[in-house]
Structure 1
């Protein structure tokens, strides 16, 4: 028998099995349809001579449990209240800012860049950085200060208020904060 014909002959058994899993005729029909679609698109992977019925039941069972796990993670949000609480900063601006920062960092003198990276990025204390650079703690502090000042100039940053969310994200944060929610 042709595999496509054999697939069609198992539909009543699939529907009965789906009904036993879901307890709802409409959901069972949807589940059978999904299983048949998956089987149809994967028919070339079916091994002729093996048990078509078992293969179809396995596909249906896996589809049921995948949908069950998916629905278990979903939260009903009919009025959109949960979705309104979710917001994120646009990522493209962060990537562009990071690219600008990397270019500016490369323009620093090597001793300033080294001190800034040790303190700012690697988390070393000034004392540890001084040991690594084989210089005085005051020298490291001076290099870090000059590096920060120069980065500010290269990035055209004039005040601390310019750090953080960009002009696109700021209205979102302001809106959330005005409603008494905190933004982390």
Structure 2
């Protein structure tokens, strides 16, 4: 009895879709860090996925899918900002975020403090620290996403961490950003998941 050959293109497509689904929490966390608004972040992730699917033929198998998706998300974010400026809608909505009272545990307070401190970072620093710390990208991958030199990303991350230390107070910030990238990643994931 002969078996029909497996369709390797279909198998590759299914594997690619599964990898994209695994990256959704990281994409959402990055979008939240950029937009500072849950609803806008969800819209940005959806737009990113639509663009990625319509341009899937441009993705080179074997390359970094996460960096490719983050680049699409970042470019979409900045395109939307330019579009809003042209339409004179302004950017005031980016700073608005509905308050959500979470549990009053120490970790929740630290997380809230981190979220607030991240809002006060310049966009380029917030973007760099989220890509490297929360999304787990290497400095090289983050530099590719941001279309800048590796040294620039390292500098932005360093300045962001220093400013977070100042904004949050040294002890609280060290608990979150000084310990390691996993801690910041956890903080961002918890923040994205608590919506």
Q: TM-score range by the shorter chain?
A: 0.3 to 0.5
Which entry has the higher C-alpha Rg, 1 or 2? 1
TM-score (norm 1): 0.40
Structure ranking higher in helix proportion: 2
- Return the structure number with greater relative CO, CA threshold 8 A, min gap 6: 2
TM-score (norm 2): 0.38
